[in-house]
Amino acid sequence: MIEWNRFYGPGKDWKNMASATKTAEFTVERKYPTNRSGPVAWIASHALRQWPYLLIAVLGAGVNAYLATLTPMYIGQAFNAVLSKPPQMDTLLRLSWLLVAIMVVRAVIMLARNFSFELVAQRMEKNTREELYVSLLGKSMTFHNLQPVGDTMARATNDVREINYLFSPGISLVVGSVSFLVMPIIVAPSYHPSLIITPIIFVIFYVLALWNYLRRLRPVTDEVRSSFGMLNTRLTESLDGIETVKSAAQEGTEIHLFGLNIKRYRDAIVKQGDIESTYLPYLLLGIALGGGLLHALILGSQGILDTGQVVGYYGVLLMLDFPTFTSLFAYSQISTGLSSAQRILELIKREDNLDQNLTGFAGEMHGEIEFREVCFGYADQEPILKDLNFKIKPGQTVALVGQTGSGKTSLVKLINRIFDVTSGSVLVDGVDVRDWNMAALRQNISMIEQDIFLFSQTIGKNIAFGKPAATQEQIVNAAKEAQADDFINSFDQGYETVLGERGVTLSGGQRQRIALARAFLTDPRILILDDSTSSIDSETEDKIQRAIFNAALGRTTILITHRLSQIRWADLIIVLKNGQIAACGKHDELMESSIDYRRIFRG
């Protein structure tokens, strides 16, 4: 069983650790490492932790196959007993009880084998799903901005489920098949040494045919999983944007686009079916059974074998039927599972440019912010922010203003390391944010954006999201400060009201007041409001303004807003234009000295 624990242990060189291991914004320490060099190694590193159950399963498969060889041998002896003059009834009765006993023992062994494989499969699904989820939490916002949610969900659900199927029934059937392939080679010489020829030739050609089958199948199963991911991505985007689709009357267009993705997925499935339909071992099995029987009959006609031995040998050859028929499904399932493992690993191994810096600075934060020669751009694109230099004193309220696209939101996201600077440095209390412990940094910074995300939980839990241990009294007080208590109590269940997905049951202003209450409850040293009062009606605006003003006391506050009522009481106003600082100062000063500032308010 994997145990996951938060790991914030001191005493480590975080810079050396970051270079030695994959960086992440959030990591956990597991009881065992996994080998991520490839899908097979990754799956094996998980599966080998379940070695007792795998051992039971493999031994069970071997013993089951051995007992299966006894059945045709005893049936052959029964033929001889019946054909003898007179029939040997005592022998028949003894053989009957032996066959019954063998079947009972085989049933128990198969139960143990199947249970062991199923247990391993379920644990594999749990552990791989958990590893992927923790990895996704550790990815930077750059990763999440570029990675489609629908494709991620396909990998986190269907692809992880395929890991389960890879073991049960996939590998479970393969292990049983291998046992049934080996036993005829071992047992055939006991009838006559030359009879080993047929099973050996069959196994050789079977392996060659299987290798060719898997070589053709693997790229197709890759395409099946990839096309399913694209299908899921389009579905997620359509449902997330359903209001936009309907308002533009584009249902028909979306149906057409979705149909194209369905066609790609269908074509991949059909191609997989075409390859499976040409599965050559079926033909090889027929030839082997016919040739082996003919060989045994020739030896029987020469008096080398008796009737019972011919029957017994043919029964042993029939064991080849199981690996032939089951391997078509089993190896397809394994190929699909490996494709899914590759897709999961692709997400887990995706490099990040941020790390949580476990042993970084985690002292008390006062709220001083300084930008030194800061430049920032996404990937290889042109810089969004260029040569920013300014300093905010603890407790100051600063307003960021500028036209849309001037870089205001990108600027504030450098403070809590949602993004990292391309060059230069951002300092909080004189310490580069990259030298702060990530958790300590972010726990002291609260950002409220215009697009508020609320979880499908109660209102109380949404307010307490950043402080799960908060008391009901603290939650209510935070809601009152955010002017949210009145409308919350208007619901029948008050703070226990369960919100719809993303808070769709609330108005825009109500969602923003819930977000404000969430921020007030965590009592951050730095409060960032990114146009967070844009959806508040005029009746509530004055109350919200007073709440924000009270919240700003004693903490550093950054406002991104075009509301003059908020800008006027800022200690400092920074005007951004094309990613650069165009002007700094108070409102009255800027109205006289800055053309860009005047243009914002005078159109």
In this prediction, residue 220 carries a pLDDT of 86
Q: Do 405 and 259 share a structural domain?
A: no
Task: Please report the pLDDT score of residue 106 as a whole number.
Answer: 93
Q: Is residue 354 part of a domain?
A: no
> Which domain covers residue 572, as residue numbers?
369-602
Give the CA-trace dihedral at 169, 175, 181, 185, to 10 degrees. -160
CATH of the domain at 29: 1.20.1560.10
CA gap 513, 546 in Å, rounded = 13
Q: Are residues 342 and 424 in the same domain?
A: no
Q: From CA 567, how far away is CA 298, in angstroms rounded?
A: 102
CA angle, residues 121, 125, 129, in degrees to nearest 5:
170
Contact 590, 600 (CB under 8 A): no
Closest by Cα among 546, 549, 545, 525 to 536: 545
DSSP string for 316-327: HHGGGHHHHHHH
C-alpha torsion 585→590→594→595, nearest 10: 150
Considering the domain architecture, whether residues 278 and 389 belong to the same structural domain is answered as: no
Look up tokens 């159109």; give the residue.
Answer: 603
CB contact set of 558 (below 8 Å; sequence gap of 6+): 369, 392, 397, 398, 399, 400, 412, 415, 526, 527, 528, 529
**Is residue 307 domain-resident?**
yes
Three-class DSSP category at 524: coil
Residues of the chain with pLDDT under 70: 1-31, 141-142, 145-146, 243, 247, 351-355, 379-380, 500-505, 532-547, 550-551, 602-603
204 assigned to some structural domain: yes
Q: Are residues 227 and 118 in the same domain?
A: yes
Predicted confidence at residue 320, as pLDDT, reads 92
Residue 504 lies in a domain: yes
Same domain, 429 and 477: yes
Within a domain: 115 = yes
C-alpha span between 135 and 493 (Å, rounded):
37
C-alpha 49/C-alpha 422 separation (Å) is 42
Are 487 and 537 within 8 A, CB to CB?
Answer: no
Residues 327 and 261 in one domain: yes
Three-class DSSP category at 283: helix
Contact 462, 454 (CB under 8 A): yes
Residue 147: per-residue pLDDT = 76
Q: If we measure between CA atoms, which residue out of 121, 107, 118 comes closest to residue 63?
A: 107
Angle at which helix 321-348 crosses helix 172-187, to 10 degrees, equals: 140
> In total, how many domains does the chain have?
2
Closest to 484 in 3D by CA, of 450, 519, 513:
513
> Domain check: are 339 and 394 in the same one?
no
d(CA 92, CA 73): 13
Q: What is the pLDDT of residue 540?
A: 59
Q: Is residue 353 part of a domain?
A: no
Query: What pLDDT score does 5 carry?
Result: 38
Query: Which one of 284, 316, 348 terminates a domain?
Result: 348
